[in-house]
């Protein structure tokens, strides 16, 4: 075991869970055991909520300009520790070092946004009648929770940590049990940056702890990022206790490729989108709908895919289960008559035989009803569906229940606009394979990719992490009494 056993982080200290149950943390890169993670119990959560509740009055009353000073320092610490954080991210998640560096760089960008929050939360004031003023201000909710998935061990926690905490909340983070190590380093850096003990806490675990978070009366809001199946459970359970909840789910992102698209650029974008982070991104291209004659573009996509080598510029998928599941989808598509143009099954990386790798896979002539065309695969696989018209392509894209992202590849602006207007997805790209909105724009899909109102990052997150206080003030007797005040 490379690292010591993972502990919870409560009131500024690492703490052993009351639970005797734990899981192994395995590196997908080579199958080696990295650590063990406790499957905490409700009593561990309760302790963390108590610590967070105790410090909330102090933290929420600390002026926001003071609160963000912690995040200016945290940003510098992320920069200083970037190589080590990226190394840890790669080890526990299986992504390449380059992808891990990009993940930490994104954490820095997210923190920069949080540092700008005083500028975005100034409130409003207006004299609404003679001598009478109305004023609005944003106030924090209290103790909030953030439940996160395995695919971005640092970035997804940082979608919520800087904004929620800079806005005055205290937080309980529940990391994915598959990648629990990075969160501990983030806690250490927050402490080093001067965050008071108890403002940020980590409780590790699985279903039991997620349920306890949804049920705990001391937690005011829950943000969740993960699969749609669990997003629905969490959204229902948390809101049934009258908590505010934003639950981001899975995705099946379609790229509509028109024959006039620039072949080289399109091929590079499609290949990078489907294979980046081994296809384990909620923004990954999973289906490509080729309209008309796009054979010349598909040839180039295959050329690009063949340059993507497992263990070199392609990381591992999270587990053996996941590898087998992805390969089953490919085999099923083949059996149903689809054509495998580039086959990533049975990938082995020399010297890392225990790693869980799937090579880039391009499947052509997929029909819209095949499971490879409808299910979220979460591997480096692109399914190509052929259509005659752009309307047919849009209809296929909108028929899937998700709505995270979609892209169109064309040089015709009018055509791009036509697709944008008709796509039922929250994040749309034009000639962009991974249309992630960058700060200050907010991140969030539609349909079964998100439950709740608003988005999780950017300006939209301000609404989620705060409530609006409205104050009406009369300053002197001359104001008199009128019909409103
Ligand atoms: P997951 O849903 O299995 O797990 C997410 C979290 O929920 C984890 O912390 C896990 O411990 C917990 N959990 C798992 N099963 C649970 C259950 N039955 N009850 C309560 N809690 C449970 O997701 P994952 O496999 O870690 O991550 C991959 C998924 O996340 C993909 O579907 C991907 O699309 C999605 N994702 C979505 C976004 C987005 O922005 N929409 C971003 C990243 C990942």
Tens of pLDDT along 83-107?
999 999 999 999 999 999 999 999 9
- Two structure tokens written together for 84: 């080590």
Distance 233 CA to ligand 1 centre (A): 11
Q: What whole-number distance in Å separates Cα of residue 438 and Cα of residue 458?
A: 8
pLDDT digits (tens, 9 = 90+) for 136-188: 999 999 999 999 999 999 999 999 999 999 999 999 999 999 999 999 999 99
Annotated catalytic sites, by residue? Answer: 282
The per-residue pLDDT for 63 is 98
Contact between 126 and 462 under an 8 Å Cβ cutoff? The reply is: no
Distance 462 CA to ligand 1 centre (A): 23
**Which residue's C-alpha comes closest to atom 6 of ligand 1?**
149
User: 18 phi and psi, to 5 degrees?
Assistant: -70, -15
Distance 227 CA to ligand 1 centre (A): 4
DSSP, residue by residue, 366-420: --TTSHHHHS---SSEEEEEEESSHHHHHHHHHHSS--SEEEEE-S-HHHHHHHH
Among 159, 230, 278, name the best residue to mutate to test ligand 1's pocket (greatest count of ligand atoms within 8 A of Cβ): 230
Going by pLDDT thresholds of 50, 70 and 90, the confidence category of residue 305 is very high
pLDDT digits (tens, 9 = 90+) for 309-359: 999 999 999 999 999 999 999 999 999 999 999 999 999 999 999 999 999
Report CA dihedral (26, 31, 32, 37) to the nearest 10 degrees. 10
The per-residue pLDDT for 481 is 76
Contact between 274 and 281 under an 8 Å Cβ cutoff? The reply is: no
Mean pLDDT of the residues in the chain: 97
Q: Is the pTM of this model over 0.85?
A: yes
**Which residue's C-alpha comes closest to atom 34 of ligand 1?**
250
Going by pLDDT thresholds of 50, 70 and 90, the confidence category of residue 78 is very high
Query: In 3-state terms, what secondary structure has residue 269?
Result: helix
- Two structure tokens written together for 57: 């009055």
**Which residue's C-alpha comes closest to atom 30 of ligand 1?**
226
Distance 56 CA to ligand 1 centre (A): 28
Going by pLDDT thresholds of 50, 70 and 90, the confidence category of residue 286 is very high
Tell which atom from ligand 1 comes closest to the C-alpha of 249: 41
Contact between 253 and 283 under an 8 Å Cβ cutoff? The reply is: yes
Going by pLDDT thresholds of 50, 70 and 90, the confidence category of residue 477 is confident
Residue 485 scores a pLDDT above 70: no
Tell which atom from ligand 1 comes closest to the C-alpha of 211: 20
The per-residue pLDDT for 478 is 76
Tell which atom from ligand 1 comes closest to the C-alpha of 248: 41
User: 129 phi and psi, to 5 degrees?
Assistant: -150, 175
DSSP, residue by residue, 79-125: HHTHHHHHHHHHHHH---HHHHHHHHHHHHHHHHHHHTHHHH---EE
- Tell me if the bond preceding 176 is cis, omega within 30° of 0: no
Distance 250 CA to ligand 1 centre (A): 8
**Which residue's C-alpha comes closest to atom 20 of ligand 1?**
207
**Which residue's C-alpha comes closest to atom 17 of ligand 1?**
207
Going by pLDDT thresholds of 50, 70 and 90, the confidence category of residue 247 is very high
CB burial string 94-103: b at 16+ within 10 A, e below: bbbeebbbbb
Residues with CB under 6 A from ligand 1: 147-151, 156, 174, 176-177, 206-207, 210, 225-227, 230, 233, 248-251, 282, 376, 378, 404, 445, 449
């Amino acid at each position: 075991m490379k690292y010591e056993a993972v502990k919870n982080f409560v009131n500024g200290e690492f703490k052993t869970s009351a639970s005797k149950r734990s899981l192994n943390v395995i590196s997908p890169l080579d199958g080696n055991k990295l650590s063990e993670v406790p499957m905490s119990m409700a009593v561990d959560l309760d302790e963390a909520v108590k610590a967070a509740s105790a410090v909330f009055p102090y933290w929420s009353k600390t002026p926001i300009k003071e609160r963000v000073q912690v995040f200016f320092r945290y940003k510098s610490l992320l920069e200083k520790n970037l190589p080590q954080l990226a190394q840890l991210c790669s080890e526990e998640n299986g992504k390449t070092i380059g992808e891990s560096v990009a993940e930490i760089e994104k954490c820095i960008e997210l923190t920069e946004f949080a540092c700008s929050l005083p500028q975005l939360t100034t409130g409003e004031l207006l004299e609404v009648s003679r001598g009478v003023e109305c004023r609005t201000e944003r106030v924090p909710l209290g103790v909030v929770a953030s439940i996160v998935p395995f695919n971005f061990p640092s970035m997804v926690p940082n979608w919520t940590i800087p904004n929620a905490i800079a806005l005055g909340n205290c937080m309980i983070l529940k990391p994915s049990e598959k990648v629990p190590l990075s969160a501990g380093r983030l806690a250490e850096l927050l402490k080093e940056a001067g965050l008071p003990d108890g403002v940020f806490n980590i409780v590790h675990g699985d279903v039991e702890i997620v349920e306890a978070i949804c049920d705990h009366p001391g937690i005011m809001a829950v943000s969740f990022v993960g699969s749609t199946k669990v997003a629905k459970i969490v959204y229902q359970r948390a809101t049934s206790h009258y908590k505010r909840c934003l639950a981001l789910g899975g995705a099946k992102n379609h790229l509509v490729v028109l024959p006039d698209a620039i072949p080289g650029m399109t091929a590079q974008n499609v290949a990078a989108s489907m294979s980046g982070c081994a296809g384990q991104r909620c923004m990954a291209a999973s289906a490509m709908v080729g309209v008309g004659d796009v054979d010349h573009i598909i040839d180039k996509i295959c050329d690009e895919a063949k340059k993507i080598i497992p263990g070199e510029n392609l990381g591992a998928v999270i587990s053996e289960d996941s590898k087998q599941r992805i390969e089953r989808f490919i085999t099923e598509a083949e059996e149903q008559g689809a054509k495998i143009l580039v086959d990533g099954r049975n990938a082995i990386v020399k010297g890392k035989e225990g790693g869980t790798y799937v090579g880039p896979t391009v499947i052509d002539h997929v029909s819209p009803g095949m499971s490879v065309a409808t299910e979220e695969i979460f591997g480096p696989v692109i399914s190509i569906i052929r259509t005659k018209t752009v309307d047919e392509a849009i209809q296929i894209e909108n028929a899937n229940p998700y709505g995270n992202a979609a892209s169109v590849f064309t040089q015709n602006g009018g055509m791009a606009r036509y697709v944008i207007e008709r796509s039922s997805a929250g994040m749309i790209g034009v000639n962009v394979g991974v249309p992630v909105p960058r700060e200050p724009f907010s991140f969030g899909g539609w349909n079964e990719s998100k439950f709740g109102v608003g988005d999780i990052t950017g300006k939209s997150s301000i609404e989620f992490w705060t409530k609006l206080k409205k104050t009406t003030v009369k300053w002197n007797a001359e104001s008199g009494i009128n019909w409103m005040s």
